[in-house]
């Protein structure tokens, strides 16, 4: 076993940390308050290679490993989860799904531009009636010979109004159940594509979350990913890897809150000494540090298994389940360490607390992660 990061991995981590501190931290409170999408920052993330980190260089990607991706996600999520979720969706769901399962033509046309961040993508699975139960797709893709006629609604779509390319999961043959679902590449300009209202959210408020409507939208057959009926398996396989990204986001939220609490505990005095000299606070910090280190090891193991081309479904589910709980627990305690100051925006921890909750919900709720884990251990 080797717990040392390589020089390249350390360089990626340092670059992500510098970018987060210098480019994301200024204005992060304002973006949260006014629900401003970090468009300029995401453009720069593309220029730095953070939007297509694991994509093969022949498709303009960084050719990096998943461990490097986890390290970068953690650093960026310490500061701005609205930026890191756009990064996660583009990397883990859109780029990875296209590179793994797309045709050469699809990769040339879409992946090359997505990997550089010239354009960003969105992944469209959830619906008003289909969240955790992803087989209950109401969006239909009727086979019309050389194209699909798509009708339906998608909910809670990250990058909903900012993406140029959307991977849409839709039902073609209802009688075949999940084997009748297809995954289609949809361009923003397609006739019948309508961006719905922006959601007003508890956390990740800078993230561009919208509902989408498709009204008699024609999608050419060459935009289907994989064989006919492959859509559900495509979505599940892609989400498997996506969980590593969200686990790393949760880890970043937790470690960001912990670092702020640790710093504050050294500056704030009560009863004649720094508050970290009081056992009540020192033990909180000890618990935070231990839980974060555990979450980090789970994230890195899942990433390592993926890089080794081994089965990582159980590891990624464990990482997301645990890291998201640690994000909730740590951010609540970080607010407590700050006392009254933790309750005001200026000190950042209240934002991190609000951002933490979504990591237990999207890309598979904590309950779904337990289903995945229990099925694996009971095989």
Of residues 99, 333, 350, 363, which has the active-site annotation? 363
Going by C-alpha positions, the residue among 40, 260, 247, 338 that lies closest to residue 162 is 40
Contact assessment for residue 365 and residue 336, using Cβ atoms and an 8 Å cutoff: no
Contact assessment for residue 163 and residue 138, using Cβ atoms and an 8 Å cutoff: no
Strands annotated E in 188-334: 193-198, 209-220, 269-270, 273-274
- Distance from the first to the final alpha carbon of the chain: 27
Residues 6+ apart with CB under 8 A from 9: 65, 67, 68, 71
Give me 262's structure tokens.
């640790």
Cα atoms in the Cβ-side hemisphere of radius 13 Å centred on 162: 26
Does 363 participate in catalysis according to the annotation?
A: yes
SS3 317: helix
Distances (CA, A) of 197 to 90, 312, 343, 379: 21, 36, 30, 43
| Residues labelled catalytic | 363
């Amino acid at each position: 076993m080797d717990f040392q990061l390589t020089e390249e991995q350390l360089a990626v981590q340092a670059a992500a940390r510098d970018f987060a501190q210098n480019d994301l931290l200024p204005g992060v409170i304002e973006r949260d308050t006014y629900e401003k999408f970090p468009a300029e920052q995401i453009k720069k993330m593309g220029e730095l290679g953070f939007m297509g980190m694991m994509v093969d260089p022949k498709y303009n990607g960084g050719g990096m490993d998943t461990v490097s991706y986890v390290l970068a996600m953690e650093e960026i999520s310490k500061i701005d989860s609205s930026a890191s979720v756009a990064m996660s969706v583009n990397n883990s769901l859109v780029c990875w799904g296209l590179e793994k399962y797309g045709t050469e033509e699809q990769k040339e046309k879409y992946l090359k531009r997505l990997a550089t961040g010239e354009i960003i993508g969105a992944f469209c699975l959830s619906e008003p009636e289909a969240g955790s139960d992803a087989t209950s797709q109401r969006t239909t893709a009727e086979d019309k010979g050389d194209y699909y006629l798509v009708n339906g609604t998608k909910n809670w779509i990250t990058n909903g109004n900012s993406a140029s390319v959307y991977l849409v999961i839709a039902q073609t043959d209802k009688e075949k159940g999940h084997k009748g679902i297809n995954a289609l590449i949809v361009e923003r300009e397609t006739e019948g594509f309508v961006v719905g209202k922006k959601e007003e959210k508890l956390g990740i408020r800078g993230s561009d979350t919208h509902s989408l409507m498709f009204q008699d939208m024609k999608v050419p057959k060459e935009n289907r990913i994989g064989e006919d009926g492959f859509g559900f398996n495509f979505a599940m396989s892609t989400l498997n890897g996506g969980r590593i990204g969200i686990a790393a986001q949760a880890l970043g939220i937790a470690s960001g809150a912990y670092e702020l609490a640790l710093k504050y505990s050294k500056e704030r005095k009560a009863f004649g000494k720094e508050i970290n000299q009081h056992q009540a606070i020192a033990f909180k910090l000890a618990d935070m540090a231990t839980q974060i280190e555990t979450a980090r090891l789970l994230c890195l193991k899942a990433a390592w298994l993926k890089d080794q081309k081994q089965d990582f479904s159980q590891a990624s589910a464990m990482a997301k389940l645990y890291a998201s709980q640690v994000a909730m627990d740590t951010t609540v305690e970080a607010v407590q360490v700050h006392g009254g100051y933790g309750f005001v925006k200026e000190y950042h921890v209240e934002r991190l607390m609000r951002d933490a909750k979504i990591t237990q919900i999207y890309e598979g709720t904590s309950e779904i992660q337990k289903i995945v884990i229990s099925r694996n251990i009971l095989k």
